Structure formats: structure tokens, C-alpha cells
Structure 1
Amino acid sequence: MKEKVLNNKKNGMLVLILTTLLYLLSIAVCVVGAMIGNPLLLGISIFWMCVGWFPYCGLRVLKPQEALVLTLFGKYTGTLKGEGFYAVNPFCTSVNPAADTHLNQSGDVDNSTRKSSLSGLLAGTSEKSGLESAGKKISLKIMTLNNSRQKINDCLGNPVEIGIAVMWRVVDTSKAVFNVDNYKEYLSLQCDTALRNIVRVYPYDVSPNVDTTGDGVADEGSLRGSSEVVAAR
């Protein structure tokens, strides 16, 4: 799946103004048609007042470092990236399988608190739809993932309690959404797996006759004394 950025959709303000003007015009035509008794004008104006709000459903607002993956009837249509006021196909839906996944990382705690506090205040279909759309946005900022500590045996069989902190960000939104089931959970599991593989290669403290580089020569590599060397390797 290759990411396709939609750069020609930043015309939300134009669509908003035109749709509002047409809606006001339909109201005026409806009044005039009723006054002069013209059923054609009356029918056209009433029809537009019933369906004229539909373009509003395609308006999207993005803040800096946010993205929105859009699908049309299950087919990937593109990604909105960068701040701006966008107008897209009203039938397009936003997709983010990790929207409700909250890990011990930056951004997730504040997002869940905001959604829980707003859920008791907002009422009505349009407001709920706007809140749902906001939750489907993908953050492009650098995130800090701090996984919980786990007990792992080092290369000598000694149990070690160790955690991991990872700085990461989404680069390709289409791969993050469609290539894995949940990219946040995938990242967390991959970090735990990599951490276990690293700890099993090194001793916690410097031990004699231990080869940590794989060259057949004993060295002084250890988790406690040479963490920078371990990270570089």
C-alpha cells in the first residue's frame, strides 16, 4: 500500500461559503415561490433545503502535524496532511484502527481525558460526528512510548527487570493503517521483543569469558556499564 497525499483538497472555505450562500438563496426562492404561487420554484427550493446541507459533511479541519486517512466505500482514496480547511467527498470516511488504543505514551492520556470529558457535554448527531472525526486523526508528531518493566533473563540466566522508552512517529500513514491491524499495539510488542532479544545477548554486569559481540573474543560489554555501546550495536 503506497501513501497518496491529497494536495488539491484545501478548498474548504470556498465550499463552506458557496454552500451557505446557496442555502440562503434557496430560502429566499422558497419565500418568493410561495408568494407568487410558482410550484416549480417552490419545489426546487424545498429540495435544495433538504439536501443542501450535504456538502457540509465533507468539510475537514486539520491542525499542524495531523493526518487523516480517507476511504470511499472501502477503497483507499488518499491522505490529508498538513494544517488547513479541506473539502472532500462527503461519502468518504476516516480510518484509524488505533484511535481507541491508549498506551503509556505521550498524547494518549490527554486524548482519552478530553474524549471522556466531552462525551458528557456534547449532544446531537453533528457534534458526535465531529468528535468521532477528531478521534480518527493520526498524529505525525514525535511520540514517546514508555513500556512497562518486564523481567528478562540475561545471557548468564540472571533475572533482570528492565523497561524501554522509544521515540517514534508515523511517516507513512497508509502503511500504518492498512499494513498492520493496530500500529500502536504492533509497535509496543515489537519494542518488547527487541528488548528481550538484546537483554539475552548481554550480561547485566561485566563477567569474564563472555562474548557479547559475536567475534569469538571475550569483552567487557554489559547492560549496566556500557548501555550506550549496547544501544549503538
Structure 2
Amino acid sequence: MELRSAFRVNGFVVVLGWLVFTLLFGAAAVLAFIAATQHSGGAPAWIGAVAAVVVLLVVWLFATGLIIVNPNEAKVVTFFGRYIGSVSDPGFFSVVPLTDRKSISLRVRNFETQKLKVNDADGNPVEIAAVVVYKVVDSFKAAFAVDDYEEYVETQSEAAVRHLATTHPYDAHDDARTSLRDGAEVAEELTVELRERTLTAGIEVIEARITHLAYAPEIAQAMLVRQQAAQVVAARTQIVEGAVGMVALALDRLAEQGTVELDEERKANMVSNLLVVLCGDRATQPVVNAGSLYS
């Protein structure tokens, strides 16, 4: 069964009809009472009671169909267990009498998962949490496809976050893999997976993003040292590459301009000195050679 619009009429028109009906029926009852009094000398006592009961029954019957729909809200209408439609337009309406109505909020909601402890793709224990922004787009599915759509979204969100954490490493050591720290890509993947999971409940996931990501406390210190070491190695690698380029440039310029001619041994000595100066993590102390080039 699919979502459909329930039959409804303007509630103010129905209330106005009640008033007209009550006045007309009351006037007719009074006239009948007067006529009965004039012809029989006394009106039966039950005539007024019957008229009052009929009016009350009609008013009560139509009153059971009155509903008020607030903005960003839907009313799911059922008639003795049968779904007859939903009303999502805000206003005052009258639907089929003797129906049950269930309110479903269409507002945008957000839900933040608990901090989950799972193993990433490399087997490292990590703590991860996410925030999910969603709204109901199908009131029929939200009301009848699942027991509680809010609880359903929470459960599916935690399951999707766990699955995401187990399929990606915390840190990618090469460019071919997507890590959990790649915010945009991971958020898009999580959003797509949650949309597929919550489609059954009539939910549209607008956005899902990681809000907390950290190594588990028992390995956090060791992983911090590892990350620092990796950063030091990366920095040193870049420094060495730059230093080698500068040394090669210096040798080429000396050779092109003919400033000085160096044999292979002196070139090697010059390269060694330049690399020490350029790659050292501390300031070097220059030594002035007062002798000749070879002494």
C-alpha cells in the first residue's frame, strides 16, 4: 500500500453546517411540539428528549471527524483498521467520522549516535560517533512499516557507522585507500548507506557526518607516537629531496660558469658538507679553511 491523500473538507464549513442543522432541527421540533400540544391538549414528554438525543448524536458523529493539522505535520487516518489516507496540508479539516488519526512530524530532526568502539579495517580499535539529519517523507511507511521510526533510525545509524568503521582504516598510508579521516568522502558514503537503510520506514536522510573519531584509550598513546614518527619521516623526506635538488643546482651552476673546477673527491666533500648544512635540524658552525683547497 502506498501513501495517498485522505478525503477531507474544510472544518469551518462542517461546523457551520452543524449550526444550521441544529437550528433547523430545533425549529422543526418546536413546531411539532406546538402542533401536538394544540391538537391533543398536551404534548408527549418524549418528543423533546428524542429531538435532543438526535441532535447530540449527529453533532458527536461529525465531531469525531474534525482534525487540526499543524505546519510540518501529517495525520494518518484509519477507519476501523483500514488505512484511508493521510492529511499533510496545515489547517482545520473534517474527515470521515469514527476514524483514528495518528500524528507524524515532518520536521527535520537530528540524531547523534553514541561513541561506538569498533575495529577499523586495519584491526585497530577506534571510537567513532556520527550525527544524522533526517525527516519523514512518507507518513504511511513511518506509521505502519516499522514499530517506531525514531528507534529504527537510531538502530540503523549505529549499524551503518559500525559498518563504515570496519571497511576503512583510521589512517590511510597510501593514496589508494580512503581513511575515516577523509571527511567529505566518508560523509557521502555514510549518507548514501543510511538512505538505503531507512527507505523502508519512509525516511529521507539529508546528511550524515562523523562527529567523533579517535583511537581507543588503550592504544591512543602508541598510535600518537606512530603518527608523530610518520610525520617526522615525511618531513625529513621532503627536506632531503629539497636539499639534493639544491646541491645538484649548485654543482651545475659552478660547472656552467666555470667558477671553480673540482675533482670527484672534492665534489663528494662539497656534497657532504652541503647536505649536512641543509638537512641538519640544528644550526651549523662554519669553519674557515685558511689553507689551500687541498689542505
What is the aligned partner in structure 2 of residue 14 from structure 1? 13
Q: Which moved more, 1:146-155 or 1:33-42?
A: 33-42
* 1:137-152 aligned within 5 A: 137-152=103-118
CA contact (8 A) 1:148 1:163 kept: yes
Structure index of larger Rg: 2
CA contact (8 A) 1:33 1:42 kept: no
Letter in 2 for 1:187: V
**CA–CA distance in structure 1, aligned partners of residues 188 and 49 of structure 2:** 73
Which has the bigger relative contact order, CA under 8 A and spacing at least 6? 1
Residue 187 (structure 1) shift: 1.3
Structure 1: gaps of 5 or more residues = 95-135, 209-217
**CA–CA distance in structure 1, aligned partners of residues 56 and 103 of structure 2:** 30
Of 139, 163, 166, 1:200 maps to: 166
User: Residues 10, 49 of structure 1: CA spacing in aligned structure 2 closer, same or farther, 3 A cutoff?
Assistant: closer
**CA–CA distance in structure 2, aligned partners of residues 166 and 232 of structure 1:** 12
What is the aligned partner in structure 2 of residue 50 from structure 1? 56
CA contact (8 A) 2:64 2:99 kept: no
CA contact (8 A) 2:74 2:106 kept: yes
What is the aligned partner in structure 2 of residue 73 from structure 1? 80
What is the aligned partner in structure 1 of residue 4 from structure 2? 4
Structure 2: gaps of 5 or more residues = 38-42, 190-295
Q: TM-score, normalised by structure 2?
A: 0.55
What is the aligned partner in structure 2 of residue 133 from structure 1? none
CA contact (8 A) 2:8 2:96 kept: no
Letter in 2 for 1:232: E
Are residues 1:61 and 2:94 paired? no
**CA–CA distance in structure 1, aligned partners of residues 142 and 95 of structure 2:** 22
**CA–CA distance in structure 1, aligned partners of residues 115 and 51 of structure 2:** 64
What is the aligned partner in structure 1 of residue 146 from structure 2? 180
CA contact (8 A) 2:104 2:143 kept: no
Q: TM-score, normalised by structure 1?
A: 0.68
Residue 148 (structure 1) shift: 2.0
Letter in 2 for 1:63: N
**CA–CA distance in structure 2, aligned partners of residues 25 and 45 of structure 1:** 11
**CA–CA distance in structure 2, aligned partners of residues 92 and 46 of structure 1:** 24
Residue 146 (structure 1) shift: 1.7
Residue 90 (structure 1) shift: 2.0
CA contact (8 A) 1:23 1:52 kept: no
* 1:1-233 aligned within 5 A: 1-6=1-6, 8-27=7-26, 37=37, 38-39=43-44, 42=48, 44-54=50-60, 55-94=62-101, 136-207=102-173, 219-224=176-181, 226-233=182-189
What do residues 35-56 of structure 1 show as CA deviations (whole Å, max 9, x unaligned)? 6635486355223233132111
**CA–CA distance in structure 1, aligned partners of residues 8 and 53 of structure 2:** 27
- Percent identity between the two aligned chains: 33
User: Residues 230, 33 of structure 1: CA spacing in aligned structure 2 closer, same or farther, 3 A cutoff?
Assistant: same
Report the secondary structure of 2:64's partner residue.
helix
Residue 84 (structure 1) shift: 1.4
Segments of 4+ in structure 1 off by > 6 A?
Answer: none
User: Residues 62, 206 of structure 1: CA spacing in aligned structure 2 closer, same or farther, 3 A cutoff?
Assistant: same
User: Residues 200, 152 of structure 1: CA spacing in aligned structure 2 closer, same or farther, 3 A cutoff?
Assistant: same
CA RMSD of aligned residues (A): 2.4
Structure with bigger helix share is: 2
**CA–CA distance in structure 2, aligned partners of residues 5 and 59 of structure 1:** 16
**CA–CA distance in structure 2, aligned partners of residues 11 and 34 of structure 1:** 35
